[in-house]
Amino acid sequence: MEKVYLEDIIDYNSCPLLDKKFVSNCFEVLSREGALTIKNFLKSKTISSLVEEAKNNQHKAYYSDSTHNIYLTPSDDSLPDDHIFNLQIKSSKGCITTDQIPDNSALKAVYTSEVFKNFIAAIVGEKTLYEYEDPLSSINIHYAKHGQELGWHFDNSSFAVTLLLQKPLDGGVFEYVKNVRNSESGEMGFDKAKEVVKGKIAPSVLDLDPGTLVLFKGRDSMHRVTPTVGKQTRYLVVFAYNSKPGVSLSKSAQKTFYGRVT
């Protein structure tokens, strides 16, 4: 029954979740490029339904406007203020949480599906993926209005799974530069990171249309989303998984990202 339901949501012609050759190819692309885009992941009727759902729930969003360094860590007083480690980058967005998304939403059907979780796990090289233990962090919808952006940064997680629902009229472009640092060896990539922020290195760009599923390895690749331009808000879904069960986002992180704690 689950597969039939997913087939009403997902375009299996573009994304055959159970096709071993397709999954293997996705694994190879992500391993090689650090980014994988699957266009037309959602059926057109699903996109329309989810855009309407996101719009109807936008009034629940918590909006934040903050600054951070590219490593998403506290500043280091032993380094100069203008050092790349201490340089503050601006990010701003709205966000609704898992518990604010309707229980009958197609997003929850996809996210909790064992078929989909196994598909993602195979591509990112994990045996099993688990939902967040807390009721806020598993599925988030990010809203970027005119002028809002996600500044340059590295991810703390090994991979990210996102789904674009609505493009803005202009802007809102996902840009990235591969292998700026090496987190395993502890090489922070200060010099190259500074060149990226100063615009001296041309970034790669992900071409995203509504309904595109993206898997991205952002731990060592710097990335950002440029400011949204125009009256149409950018809607982006973030599916967050863990490699271990029982993980919850910290109370301080919940307060920072969502404006409330559980």
pLDDT of residue 262: 86
Give the chain's mean pLDDT: 95
What pTM was computed for the model? 0.94
CATH architecture of 2-241+251-256: Sandwich (2.60)
Residues contacting residue 191 through CB under 8 Å, at least 6 positions apart: none
**Dihedral sign for Cα atoms in the order 10, 12, 15, 20:** positive
What mean pLDDT is predicted for residues 162-181?
A: 97
What mean pLDDT is predicted for residues 74-82?
A: 93
Residue type at 49 in one-letter notation: S
Neighbours of 158 (CB within 10 A): 14
pLDDT in tens, 138-148: 999 999 999 99
Residue 223 CA to residue 217 CA, distance in Å, equals 10
pLDDT in tens, 190-236: 999 999 999 999 999 998 999 999 999 999 999 999 999 999 999 99
Provide the residue ranges of all domains of the chain, joining segments of one domain with +: 2-241+251-256
